[in-house]
């Protein structure tokens, strides 16, 4: 009987990469959970004491990244990043290295952050780390490099804004709609990946709707995993917003739908008309609904695609117009029926 062969060890390069990933995720987790600069000195003093004493009453308040679905980074993701067989002994060793590095770096970075916040005149009162938890590079003069990424914080929710769909000229759409060229596009993506960060949609940062506010590029979000995105997703810190031209088209559609509904009923409308519409709504009767609902856009509506392009401030040949037309029509229909049903039920009381 031959002796059983020894289990293969994880390659040193894979272990080092696992540790690097763990450290990056550990740092990022700190700045998501305890990077709020509004906390007072007592908070950071208590945090330092808790770390120094390994006091579970303090340390237990925070979560260190692990390889579970809750952090949106599991063993399968680690295996893919390290190019190891999923479920093999080499992956088990790499996972241990990842978890140990994440745990150690989390508390080291938490202590560093607390000390910086407690140092008078440290120039860090607004935070010297990016939203992904990685510190800005030192430009060489002793001062941290400024974070030039637009602020993606949603003022209404405090969450980070993410496009719900790709904009019409997303740099990750086929055909290079922004005409950047493959080399420039690749360099742009690589810069974000090297920083462990994300790409902000150009249409929200410097497009035709500058007042809309920056948001994370959906194409990048769907295609890549970075520490910044992992932490934002794991902490449920993302809120989805439509591309700006879609949002504007929806706004126009809602206003038009509401206006159209106001013309369905007026002071001379007989009671049976209200009742017929309500029955049609309740029963979902297309014979009634189709007879009441006006066209949203087109010659029959007195409002064409060219009119919508004009109101959006885009060329009628813009590749974004078809999606804007769809968004306008859907918003028109929803708003029309919401207002129509409200008016009908109010009259029926």
**DSSP track, 218-231:** HHHHHH---HHHHH
- Quote the pLDDT of residue 206: 65
| pLDDT score recorded for residue 252 | 96
Domains in the chain: boundaries: 12-118, 160-241, 245-348
Quote the CA–CA distance of 20 and 102 in Å, as a whole number: 9
Consecutive sets of 10 residues in the chain, 349 residues long: mean pLDDT of each?
Answer: 45 86 84 64 85 84 84 85 86 91 89 81 41 38 44 87 93 84 86 86 76 91 87 85 95 94 71 75 74 88 95 90 95 90 75
Predicted pLDDT at 20: 87
Cβ atoms within 10 Å, residue 302: 10
Angle in degrees, 0-180, between the axes of helices 271-283 and 321-348, rounded to the nearest 10: 120
Give me the DSSP letters along 242-286.
--HHHHHHHHHHHHHHHHHHHTT--TT--HHHHHHHHHHHHHT-H
- Is residue 201 within 8 A of residue 167, CB to CB? The reply is yes
Return the pLDDT at 270. Answer: 67
Which of 169-205 are b and which e, b meaning 16 or more Cβ less than 10 Å from the residue's Cβ?
bbbbeeeeebeeeeeeeeebbeebeebbbbbbbbbbb
DSSP 128-154: SB-TTSPBPPP-SSSSPPP--SPP-B-
pLDDT value of residue 330: 95
CB atoms within 10 A of CB 113: 24
What is the token pair recorded at 66?
A: 């692990």
Give the burial string for 74-85 (b: 16+ CB within 10 Å, else e).
bbebbbebbebe
- Residue 299 burial class via C-beta count within 10 angstroms: exposed 0-12, middle 13-18, buried 19 and up: exposed
Instruction: For residues 50 and 59, give the distance between their C-alpha atoms in angstroms, rounded to a whole number.
Output: 6
- What's the pLDDT score for residue 36? 52
The conformational region for residue 72 under phi > 0 = left, psi -120 to 50 = alpha, else beta, is left
Other residues' Cβ atoms within 10 Å of the Cβ of residue 343: 18
CA distance 183 to 228: 24
Which element (helix H / strand E) includes 238?
strand 238-241
Spatial distance between the Cα atoms of 166 and 113, rounded to a whole number of angstroms: 36
Residue 145 has what pLDDT?
36
């Amino acid at each position: 009987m031959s002796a059983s062969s020894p289990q293969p060890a994880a390659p040193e390069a894979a272990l080092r990469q696992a540790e690097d990933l763990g450290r990056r995720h550990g740092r990022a987790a700190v700045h998501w959970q305890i990077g709020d600069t509004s906390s007072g000195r007592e908070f950071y003093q208590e945090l330092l004491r808790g770390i120094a004493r390994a006091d579970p009453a303090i340390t237990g308040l925070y979560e260190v990244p692990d390889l579970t679905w809750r952090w949106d980074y599991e063993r399968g993701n680690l295996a893919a990043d390290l190019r190891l067989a999923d479920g093999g002994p080499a992956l088990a060793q790499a996972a241990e290295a990842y978890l140990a590095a994440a745990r150690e770096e989390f508390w080291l970075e938490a202590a560093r952050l607390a000390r910086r916040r407690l140092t008078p005149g440290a120039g860090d009162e607004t935070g010297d780390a990016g939203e992904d938890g990685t510190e800005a590079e030192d430009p060489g003069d002793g001062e941290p490099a400024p974070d030039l990424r637009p602020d993606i914080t949603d003022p209404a929710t405090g969450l980070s804004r993410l496009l719900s769909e790709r904009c019409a000229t997303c740099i990750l759409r086929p055909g290079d709609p922004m005409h950047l060229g493959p080399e420039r596009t690749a360099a742009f993506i690589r810069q974000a990946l090297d920083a462990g960060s994300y790409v902000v949609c150009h249409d929200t940062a410097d497009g035709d709707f500058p007042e809309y506010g920056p948001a994370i590029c959906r194409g990048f979000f769907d295609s890549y995993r970075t520490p910044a995105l992992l932490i934002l997703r794991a902490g449920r810190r993302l809120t989805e917003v439509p591309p700006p031209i879609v949002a504007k088209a929806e706004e126009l559609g809602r206003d038009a739908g509401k206006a159209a509904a106001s013309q369905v009923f007026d002071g001379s409308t007989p009671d049976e008309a209200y009742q017929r519409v309500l029955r049609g709504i309740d029963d979902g009767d297309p014979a009634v609904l189709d007879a009441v609902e006006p066209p949203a856009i087109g010659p029959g509506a007195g409002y064409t695609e060219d009119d919508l392009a004009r109101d959006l401030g885009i060329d009628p040949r813009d590749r974004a117009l078809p999606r804007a037309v769809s968004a306008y029509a859907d918003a028109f229909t929803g708003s029309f029926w919401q207002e129509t049903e409200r008016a009908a039920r109010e009259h029926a009381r």
